[in-house]
Chains A and B, each alone.
Chain A
Amino acid sequence: MATQYEIPVGAQHIALLEPLHFKFSTENEKIIDTTANVGYVHRGIELACCSKFKFRQVSFVVGRVCGLCSISHTTAYSQVAEKLLNLDIPIRAKYLRMLVIELDRIHSHLLCLSHVAENSGFEALFMKTMQYREFSMELLEAVCGNRIQYDFSIVGGVARDLKPAVANSILERLNHFKPQLNELVDIYENNWTLSLKNKGIGILTKEEAMRLNVVGPFARAAGLAVDVRDETEDLLPWKAVGYEMVTDTTGDVFARNMVRLREISVSMKIIENVINGLPESPLLIETKAFPEGEAVVRLEAPRGELMYYAKGNKTQVLERLKIKAPTFSNIPAMAETFKGNEYASAPAIIASYDPCLSCTAR
């Protein structure tokens, strides 16, 4: 019988972006069992949102839950608060929200791809992807006024308008990015060195994905067609701006890379459609009402389905706010997918999950 070793990875480790702890049981370099611990960054944001801050201020607090999907959190909270207030926000605000969500998706996916390349041992591709990612950060800064904390969605609409000069620069920079994206697709798809660490590694089958309730690009790479943008039409008109489902079949690290790269081109198409067909209307709708009742909102963040639940009691402060982040749904599948892989492949697999622990632990 082969000797078994227990190898801890995390909560602080060079292969990890986030404070996440994995304990691998290995047998001759093969991982046979994994346990995960995710509660290292608990900050008590939910309690703060229900005690210290008024309901209008909460949209700025939840933006600080996560740096990468800040706009998804603010938008989801704004939508749930609007449901409690029975507000129907102007159409231009909806389109601008979609624009910023998709720009955010481009930068988040490129960050994840660059870290897959880095953890697979391809440092040069990491640098290249990060170099190409910079345009999306600058566009977000031009649209929202800040690189990371967008504070763009507020209860009742959006905070800023899109200037025509900024809209033109977005279209221009997207056209400039298209050949760069093709270059990245070519490298991620055809590079032999990268394929050694990516193809056939960390496979999650469609049946397992369905059983373990996986969301986001992780599920779509396994062939499971789940996307909130495909399912809901009432809050943001995704289909009207040309949303397309992107799926793959193999469910390995390579498939996840490909799904993310193809989703970037879908996002670029959505951004172009939003800018070309931006309707004219006011940006913000004012109300003096207080939140009352219960509401649930789902939104597709870059990592998958984000769910917000809120309960109001006709006062300035909410009674309850619950955030369910996409990574939280993916944890069982994360632990499952390692089984049967080489220990040396673990960093690339972890990066390909795109885990966001500050969202999960809040």
Chain B
Amino acid sequence: MKTFFKAIGNLAKKPITTKYPFEPTFIPDDYRGLIGFNADLCIWCRRCEMACPPGAIVFSQAMDGQQTYHYNRAVCIYCSECVRSCPKEGAIFQTAQPAPCALKAENINNGWNKLFAESLESRNIYAAEKKRLTALKAAEAKAAKPSADSSEKSS
């Protein structure tokens, strides 16, 4: 009977739920939100990429050796493992901002998989090119060395 009268009394009370789109919900100050990146501080060691559990960070490399940081907020699990692994403080950091929804136009899954594969490929191409150039340089040096020796001898 007590419960019954309480239930009737509750009819006059305000709802306890938050009217979410019109009112803000509870978000703590240090909410685990989007990962930020500061290219000026980064030393391009790629430790964040190696530490990231879901693979939401990848670095691509242009032919001049310049690396570019790519980040996918839909793959990220916001565990801040990248921030802990970073040797340079402030290069990669966590903000309290919740991630916005992904749109179809962004092609966030397939586009990311393609970008991820392309980034790894670009690094391989750069590494191969660098190896080839180093080998070429070594060969040139080797070719130049005997000639230098012979020139010394002749002189």
Contact = CB atoms under 8 A, between A and B. Distances in A.
Contacts, number: 45
A198 to B, nearest CB: 15
A138 interface: yes
A145 B51 contact: no
Nearest to A64: B77
B150 to A, nearest CB: 51
Using C-beta atoms within 8 Å of the partner chain, give the interface range for chain A: 20 to 34
Interface residues of B, number: 17
Given A56-B51, A124-B7, A159 B79 contact: yes
B107 interface: no
Q: Most chain-A CB neighbours within 10 Å: which of B3, B27, B51?
A: B3
B80 A60 contact: no
Given A138-B26, A146-B78, A159-B79, A191 B3 contact: yes
A177 B72 CA distance: 39
Contact of A141 (B26, B53, B84): B26
Contact of B77 (A56, A138, A151, A187): A151
A160 B30 CA distance: 10
Interface in B8-37: 16, 26-28, 30-32
Contacts of A124: 3, 7
B81 interface: yes
A61 B53 contact: yes
Interface in A52-68: 53, 56-57, 60-61
B32 A146 contact: yes
A142 interface: yes
Contacts of A213: none
Given A60-B53, A61-B53, A141 B28 contact: yes
Nearest to A122: B3
Given A53-B53, A56-B51, A131-B16, A151 B28 contact: no
A174 to B, nearest CB: 17
A149 B77 contact: yes
Contacts of B7: 124
Contact of B79 (A60, A131, A142, A187): A60
A187 B77 CA distance: 40
Contacts of A60: 53, 77, 79, 81
B81 A187 contact: no
Interface string B66-81: 0000000000011111
B97 to A, nearest CB: 12
16 contacts: A56-B51, A56-B81, A57-B51, A60-B79, A138-B26, A141-B31, A145-B28, A145-B31, A146-B32, A151-B77, A151-B78, A151-B80, A154-B81, A159-B84, A160-B30, A163-B30
Closest 9 CB pairs of A and B: A145-B32, A57-B53, A142-B28, A151-B79, A60-B53, A60-B79, A138-B26, A146-B32, A145-B31
